Chain A
Amino acid sequence: DVVLTQTPPTLSATIGQSVSISCRSSQSLLHSNGNTYLNWLLQRPGQPPQLLIYLVSRLESGVPNRFSGSGSGTDFTLKISGVEAEDLGVYYCVQSTHAPYTFGAGTKLELK
């Protein structure tokens, strides 16, 4: 199975601070069809996960553009440019290139 190593496990930020989360894969996530199926989810407290970013860098409809994704192959990053209070929760990277699909261990974003 593909292992996604997500760092850091916890992130403390102040409002307005920019932060980044890393997700590294044990193998390339480039699919044979040319797409890279690396997505980012946010789970706020008491809520189900929601899709933020798909296909590495495509912003889901309704998601603020302070969220951005980048990367290729095995190395990916989620950046939040100016944390807001509503961004608190647990962030997951998830790959759906190789079955079984796998998730990173999560990064908990807290207010400092």
Chain B
Amino acid sequence: EVQLQESGPGLVKPSQSLSLTCSVTGYSITSNYWGWIRKFPGNKMEWIGHISYSGSTSYNPSLKSRISITRDTSKNQFFLQLNSVTTEDTATYYCARYRGIAAHVMDAWGQGASVTVSS
């Protein structure tokens, strides 16, 4: 059974970079697509982007200039870096697996990492 676990600092200062790790067990990240999604205070959800089994990436244009999704296949981990954060980036960040060979159905999710941007 696949399991995903987000980790990273819970507090980031404005203008700094946010870095999160998604550690995957029970499934290789060299298969399928792997994504990041965030939920803002309240209920709003936003798709951030994903990385494929081959390492290619796709990003939300609203964040494209500030984000990078990378991976370390030897550790079976993938990463999110979000630069120049503001208080509007305060959210719970989830990593997820997409089913199959395309990036259309997110069928497994991590527990989420709460990130607060504040000075």
Contacts and interface: CB of A to CB of B under 8 A. Distances in A.
Contacts, number: 53
Contacts of B60: 100
Nearest to A54: B105
A103 B105 contact: no
B54 interface: no
A47 to B, nearest CB: 8
A49 B61 contact: no
Interface stretch (B16-24, B70-78, B106-114): B106-114
Query: Interface range on chain B: under 10, 10 to 19, 20 to 34, or 35 or more?
Result: 20 to 34
A94 B44 CA distance: 12
A1 to B, nearest CB: 8
A69 interface: no
Query: Interface range on chain A: under 10, 10 to 19, 20 to 34, or 35 or more?
Result: 20 to 34
Interface in B71-102: 94, 99
B105 A106 contact: no
Contact of B111 (A41, A48, A97): A48
A51 B45 contact: no
B15 interface: no
A96 B112 contact: no
Contacts of A110: none
